Amino acid sequence: MAELVFRGATVIDGTGADRCRADVAVTNGVIAAVDTSLKSADAARVVDADGLVLAPGFIDMHAHSDLRTLVERDHPSRVTQGVTCEVLGQDGLSYAPVDDTTLPALRRQIAGWNGDPEDFDWSWRTVGEYLDRLDQGIAVNACYLVPHGSVRMLAMGWENREPTRAELKRMRELVAQGMREGAVGLSSGLSYTPGMYAGTDELIELCEVVAAHGGYHSPHQRSYGAGALGGYAEMIEISRRSGCPLHLAHATMNFGVNAGRAAEFLELIDAALTEGCDISLDTYPYLPGSTTLAALLPSWSAEGGPDATLARLADPVSRERIRRDVEERGSDGNHGMVVDWRTIQISGVRDTALSGVVGQNVAELAAARAVTGTEVFFDLLAADRLGTTILHHVGNEENVRAIMRHRAHTAGSDGLLVGARPHPRAWGTFPRYLGHYSRDLGVLTLEETVARMTGRPARRLRLDRRGLIRVGHHADLVLFDPRTVRDTATFEQPRLAAEGMVEVLVNGVSVLTDGKPTGALPGRALRRTEQGVSAL
């Protein structure tokens, strides 16, 4: 007897093929049948799916749930969107591998991304130990990327220089170890410290290791502003020279300098694909970005880690040099652009005493105090110990739509789950693709949209029997109403759950039923093996 049958569902299987009507049975955590006439008596539970779409579970190719999935284990921001797998360890900064020196500094550096929970068990140190922690019970499946910045910290601290041969050998060993322990690839954060200090040759050598273990490189490249096209060209060259597949994270063309220039970026991608390069990318369906306020600092000012950065902010000479970079020259932390304080909106603070600034942009705060935006910037960084998060209003709608139409496109939320008013993409990315961009605007068909969120990312991750509705595949499934599905999260109320999601299964277990989270924790770390990526 089947445990569950979806009766009369409109099946969109994740390949991009046309939809069909079928009954789908689930038994022992796998899809047992896809048929047009299964008997109700053959199921312990039957879900009437007439008029509803049954799709593979959605895969978030760029998630920042590294701690939240362990702290808030029912993970409502994921399950209410239909996400059944997320890729962690992004942007070159995460919590494995670490040691007793780098972990405390990392916790401070990316508290704005992930929080820094008290009374939390930080006992893991390696990638394998972190994946073991995930296996103790999470709501959705997770893959992990070895973070280049964390590896560089272990090998050579926060120094702004090339590594010695011994240091590079140590980095290669750490990356290889992480891959052997189950990571799916390498992430890099080339506008964050210390990853921004790495040269092209260093990344090529590390990507060679990743390629040898069947993984891919997912860079947050050096610039999404003035140097965007050059940054993308560098990432393609690293892929070409290392033989490592490339997945471009949050592949945007931002700021006014790039308005309407998505075609130039996509021409680079198409030329490389024609040459035989293995390239994919992800985007989120919104205009503003989101990061930490400290990310806007020039790279030289962050050398040495958080304490050294705060010391420079207190030093008048260094402070003036930072001001010139931010106001006049263009900070590399702001993608080579002079900061426009009207575009920088505070979304969260670490120190609750500063909560009054949340929701305001820096220009508004400066006007109220009759000071410059840069003075507000300095004061907030110091008072909040670099923990402030922001929304960065620099996107371009024409570019967003052009990039999401591309054949290499997948979906990633890039969502931060902490702060008073985080970006709504953390709760709304996948229903926004389905509702706003597919149904309402017709930018993509529903079949194309589902493929970008399921089958296509599963191929990049080399997931074992996931990402498609096929007999024998793991039952990661989402049932939704195509007429009503939509994101409800807004910039004012960013933690509102999607509408139109009916049922979500992870490994055959319901984590969402009748639109409500069940609290079940069937998710596991999906580890890379020689055959692919599997939790089994």
Least confident of 145-159, 166-180, 300-314, 489-503: 300-314
Q: Taken in order 169, 171, 176, 177, is the CA torsion positive or negative? A: positive
Indicate the pTM of the whole model.
0.95
Instruction: Report residue 93 CA to chain centroid gap.
Output: 12
- Residue 536's pLDDT is 45
Kindly give the pairing relationship between strand 516-517 and strand 527-528: unpaired
Instruction: Report residue 107 CA to chain centroid gap.
Output: 18
Q: Is the pLDDT of residue 534 over 60?
A: no
Angle between helices 306-314 and 316-324 (to 10 degrees): 100
- Residue 43's pLDDT is 85
The burial class, CB within 10 Å (0-12 / 13-18 / 19+), for 417 is buried
**From CA 298, how far away is CA 306, in angstroms rounded?**
13
Place of tokens 């140590």: 170
pLDDT-derived band at 530 (thresholds 50, 70, 90) equals low
- Residue 37's pLDDT is 74
Q: Is the pLDDT of residue 56 over 70?
A: yes
Write the pLDDT tens digit of every residue in 108-133. Answer: 999 989 999 989 999 999 999 999 99
443: left (phi over 0), alpha (psi -120 to 50) or beta: alpha
Q: Is the pLDDT of residue 450 over 50?
A: yes
Write the pLDDT tens digit of every residue in 366-401. Answer: 999 999 999 999 999 999 999 999 999 999 999 999
CB atoms within 10 A of CB 339: 20
Write the pLDDT tens digit of every residue in 211-238. Answer: 999 999 999 999 999 999 999 999 999 9
Q: Is the pLDDT of residue 142 over 60?
A: yes
Q: Is the pLDDT of residue 206 over 60?
A: yes
**From CA 29, how far away is CA 182, in angstroms rounded?**
22
| 70: nearest Cα among 105, 101, 92, 96 | 96
pLDDT-derived band at 68 (thresholds 50, 70, 90) equals very high
- Contacts (Cβ under 8 Å, ≥6 apart) of 296: 326, 331, 333, 334, 339, 344, 377
Q: Taken in order 327, 194, 301, 344, is the CA torsion positive or negative? A: positive
Write the pLDDT tens digit of every residue in 241-255. Answer: 999 999 999 999 999
The burial class, CB within 10 Å (0-12 / 13-18 / 19+), for 441 is exposed
157-148-82 Cα angle (round to 5): 135
Place of tokens 């509803």: 52
Phi and psi at residue 95, in whole multiples of 5°?
Answer: -100, 15
- Residue 305's pLDDT is 87
CB atoms within 10 A of CB 429: 31
Strands, E assignment, 307-348: 344-348
Q: Is the pLDDT of residue 535 over 90?
A: no
Write the pLDDT tens digit of every residue in 393-434. Answer: 999 999 999 999 999 999 999 999 998 999 999 999 999 999
Strands, E assignment, 167-288: 185-189, 216-220, 246-248, 279-283
Tokens of 473: 């595949």
Tokens of 533: 């990526």
> How high is the mean pLDDT of the chain?
95
